[in-house]
Homo-oligomer: A and B are copies of this chain.
């Protein structure tokens, strides 16, 4: 805990940058930070010995291969690559390389290790190479803002959280001018390769960049790396995105603590909102780690499930009416979930709270994904109508304007707590639109649950006491010290990216697999980014996208959760994972989602 204070050197190499570039100095580290620097990183065996890279069969696309082929004429169909043992290194060429790296989008624990992995590959296998870190995300490429990465500069960042070694940014390289700027930088720095560390959008962008460079006959190759704590960039070949493991464990630590608090005081319902605007993987993983009483998974909003009773009311497929009598559909019964409404969610929570009250439990823990509201179709509809009305109509105090709302939206609007109504009417973004993202879903739900419970109390159907306590666990999970898993996984991703670039590959995403096995046995390769793509129509044009991986209601993680949630609801099965440990047996645990998806846990 003792930490001497020394001057933080401004570690700027390469180019003078207007923003301050403050490199880290290990001597201002906490003991835990310092102990992590020298934590030994194991590489998969295949990367530790001589290897060669072999191509698989030609690839296609995740959807609409015809359109993808048109969008990526130079890259479409290229095979994925696999690193395999070899008598001698296939990359005998010792021509020095110049490689750039960029961090794109939100932080995820482990990003620094990807950079270390690339760097160490170059140090060990292509001596004399140069590595540049583009500063502040893709804007750094366009503006040619970079630092030259040296062993001294990189060293203190090993196994450390954050993206501050070179910082990140959310700019995109999209317009022809921006592609031109990227080309200029590639030429100016004589880049042999570029590694883009980012999420689904950034990897789509990486592929467009690869296509563009190839089309222009530039030598610069582009390799992507899968990053996002949200866990929604994954596929068969890319089993997980880095950062998810650490972030979930940080949130689960806090949730576990709050659970024991709830049980100790016996008087609070803790409503915990968790990061994850698009997909609910974080919420699901945290539920598997901690066993909360109630967990809302956004993806249940409008899905057909065939395997078990969903949480919310449902009806037999094809029939429109509610089938409240169908309490226990048989396995294989085809059951269609009605579109989720806020009222459904509220009722689901209130039902469980009422049942718990009868058992003597007036406390509990409820997990909610950040993106819940975005999942609910009726909310989207209301927002759209409000945007329209607010843009064109006078909002009178007597509420006559509400007549412009459709029946369904009016009903929903009236159902919302007054504070949320006011927030929707008053807080707009610069374009005059309602700001859904600013709604604190957990607080909104507390108010709605409170109102509903009060009604039931009046009706004599509920006799408990309800006190809601809200939490948002978000930023504190993005920059924690990476777990041993994320540290090792990222290092392998980076090392592999170096190998792929060295062998002349472009348009691939670094892929490390067989992750349930010991690190030595992990597989290594690169997956054609075009093979992960589909198209979306935007403004009349086809745009390539790597589709976000949502929580699969037929997938093993959700199924396990769904099979246990009724038990967790009424009995208290709380598990407190405790703080992440870096030493000892628990330090090498891997998240449930990954193990379940790999079939390594049941």
Contact = CB atoms under 8 A, between A and B. Distances in A.
A339 interface: no
B579 A8 contact: no
A586 B260 contact: no
Contact of A266 (B19, B571, B580): B19
Interface in A463-494: 469, 471, 475-481
Nearest to A586: B31
A458 interface: no
A503 to B, nearest CB: 31
A411 to B, nearest CB: 26
Nearest to A31: B586
B576 A579 contact: no
Nearest to A592: B1
A575 B3 contact: yes
**How would you classify the secondary structure of chain A's contact residues: helix, strand, loop or mixed?**
loop
B478 A261 contact: yes
Interface string A94-117: 000000000000010000000000
A289 B33 CA distance: 13
Interface in A499-551: none
12 contacts: A1-B589, A5-B564, A19-B266, A35-B586, A107-B264, A162-B263, A162-B264, A168-B265, A253-B480, A264-B479, A579-B580, A581-B581
Interface of A: 1-3, 5, 8, 18-20, 22, 28-33, 35-36, 107, 136, 160-164, 167-168, 250, 253-254, 256-258, 260-261, 263-266, 268, 270, 289, 359-361, 469, 471, 475-481, 564, 567, 571-586, 589-592, 601
Nearest to A136: B266
Given A8-B571, A32-B577, 4 more contacts: A20-B360, A33-B575, A257-B477, A583-B584
A476 B35 contact: no
Contacts of A477: 257
B263 A28 contact: no
A20 B361 contact: yes
Contacts of A360: 18-20
B578 A36 contact: yes
Contact of A162 (B261, B361, B475, B577): B261
Nearest to A601: B2
Contacts of A36: 578
A471 B266 CA distance: 24
Residue in A107, A479, A574 with the greatest tally of chain B CB atoms within 10 Å = A479
Contacts of A164: 260, 263-264
A31 B107 contact: no
Output the residue of A29, A30, A583 with the most chain B CB within 10 A.
Answer: A30
Contacts of A578: 30, 32-33, 36, 480-481
A579 B361 contact: no
B583 A476 contact: no
Contact of A20 (B250, B254, B359): B359
Q: Pick the 7 closest A-B CB pairs, nearest first.
A: A32-B578, A579-B579, A162-B260, A31-B586, A1-B589, A260-B479, A163-B264
A372 to B, nearest CB: 20
Contacts of A571: 8
A36 B478 CA distance: 27
A257 B575 contact: no
Nearest to A17: B360
Contacts of A361: 20
Contacts of A601: 2
Nearest to A18: B360
A447 to B, nearest CB: 13
A198 to B, nearest CB: 14
A261 B475 contact: yes
A337 B337 CA distance: 64
Nearest to A252: B30
A153 B478 CA distance: 39
A592 B590 CA distance: 33
A147 to B, nearest CB: 15
Contact of A576 (B22, B30, B163, B577): B30
Contacts of A2: 589, 601
B30 A575 contact: yes
A35 B577 CA distance: 11
Given A8-B572, A589-B1, A577 B261 contact: no
B585 A583 contact: no
A584 B581 CA distance: 10
A257 B480 contact: yes
A456 to B, nearest CB: 21
B28 A579 contact: no
A261 B475 CA distance: 7
Contacts of A575: 3, 28-30, 33
Nearest to A3: B575
Contacts of A586: 1, 30-32, 35
Contacts of A589: 1-2, 31
Contacts of A31: 585-586, 589
Contacts of A8: 571-573
B167 A264 contact: yes
A22 B581 CA distance: 28
A258 B479 contact: yes
A394 B36 CA distance: 63
A586 to B, nearest CB: 4
Contacts of A590: 1
A163 B266 CA distance: 10
A301 to B, nearest CB: 28
Contacts of A583: 581, 583-584
